[in-house]
Structure 1
Amino acid sequence: MGIGWSELARDSGVGPGSLVARAARAAVLDSGVARDAIDGVVGVYGTDSPTLWPGYVVDALGLPDVRWWDTAQPPSVTALSTAANAVLTGNCDYALCYHGKYRWANTSVVGRGDPLRQAPAHEFDPGLDHALVEHGGSMLWAARVMREHMVRHGSTREDFARIAVNNRTNAARNPRAVFRTPMTVEDYLAAPMIDDPMCLLDMDAPIDGALAVVVTTERRARDLPHPSVLVEAFASALPERNDGLLWPEADGLAARRAVGNLFARSDLTPADIDLAYPYDGFSILAMLWLEALYTGPGEGPALLRESWSDDEQRLRLHGRVPVCTHGGNLSEGRATQGFGSVIEAVQQLRGDAGERQVDAARTAVITGGMAGTNRSTILVTG
Structure 2
Amino acid sequence: MSIFRFFRPFFGYWSRRLYSYKSLCGASDIDGKSIADKVLQEIKVEVDEWVDAGGKKPKLISILVGENPSSKIYIERMIKTGKRVGIDIEILHFEADISQVDLLKNIQKLNDDPDVDGILVQFPVSKHISEREVCRAVVPSKDVDGFHPYNIGRLALNSKGMIPATALGVKELIVRSQIPTFCKNAVVIGRSKHIGLPIALLLHSDENNDFPGLDLTTTICHRYTQPAELKRYTKNADIVVSSAGVPGLVTKDMIKPGACVIDVGITRVKVDHEKFKFVGDVDYESVREVAGYITPVPGGVGPMTVAMIMKNTFNAAKKLLRLEERESEIKGRVAEINKNRVEEKENDMYTRNRTTPSTYNSRGKDLSFGNPVL
Q: What TM-score range do you get, normalising by the shorter chain?
A: under 0.3
The normalised TM-score by structure 2 is 0.25
Structure number with bigger Rg? 2
Higher relative contact order (CA closer than 8 Å, sequence separation 6+): 1
